[in-house]
Structure 1
Amino acid sequence: MKLTTQTDYALRTLMFLATRTSRSNVADVATLFGISVNHVAKVVNLLARGGYVRSIRGVGGGIELALPPEQISVGEVIANMEGDTHLLACVGTDDSCAIHSFCKLKGVLAEAERIQMEYLLGVTLAEVVPQKRQLNRIQIAANGSPDKPSSRS
Structure 2
Amino acid sequence: MRLNLHTDYALRILMYLASKGGQASVDEIAGAYGISRNHLMKVARSLVELQLIEARRGRGGGFALAASADAINVGYVVRRLESLEGFVECFDRTSNSCPVAGACGLQGALNGAVAAFLDKLDEYRLSDLLPDRNRFLRQLKAFDQAPNNPKTSPMAA
TM over 0.5, shorter chain? yes
Match of 2:105 in 1: 104
CA distance 1:107–1:140, shift in 2 (3 Å): closer
Give the letter for the 1:62 counterpart: G
Unaligned runs of 5+ in 1: 144-153
Partner SS state of residue 110, structure 1: helix
| Identity score, percent | 33
DSSP 3-state at the match of 2:84: coil
In structure 2, the residue corresponding to 1:55 is in which secondary structure? strand
Provide the aligned length of Structure 1 versus Structure 2: 143
Distance apart, 1:91 and its partner CA: 2.9
What does 1:105-120 correspond to in 2, within 5 Å? 105-120=106-121
More divergent stretch after superposition (27-36 vs 89-98): 89-98
**Residue ranges of structure 2 left out of the alignment (5+ in a row):** 146-157
Structure 2 counterparts to residues 139-150 of structure 1, below 5 A: 139-141=140-142, 142=144
Query: How far 1:5 sits from its partner (Å)?
Result: 1.2
Q: Distance in 2 between matches of 1:109 and 1:17?
A: 34
Give the corresponding residue for 1:151: none
Instruction: Tell me the TM-score normalized by structure 2.
Output: 0.81
Offset of 1:17 from its aligned partner?
A: 0.3
Task: Report if aligned partners of 2:85, 2:91 keep a CA contact under 8 Å in 1.
Answer: no
Cα offset, 1:108, TM superposition: 1.0
- What residue is the counterpart of 2:30 in the other structure? 30
How far off its partner does 1:22 sit? 2.5
2:119 partner amino acid: E
> Alpha carbons of 1:91 and 1:43: their partners in 2 closer, same or farther (altered >3 Å)?
same
Over residues 18-43 of structure 1, what are the superposed CA-to-partner deviations in whole Å (9 max), with x where a residue is unaligned? 01132111111111111111111111
Provide the rounded CA distance (Å) in 2 between the counterparts of 1:22 and 1:69. 11
State the alpha-carbon separation in 1 of the partners of residues 15 and 80 from structure 2.
Answer: 16
The equivalent of 2:61 in structure 1 is 61
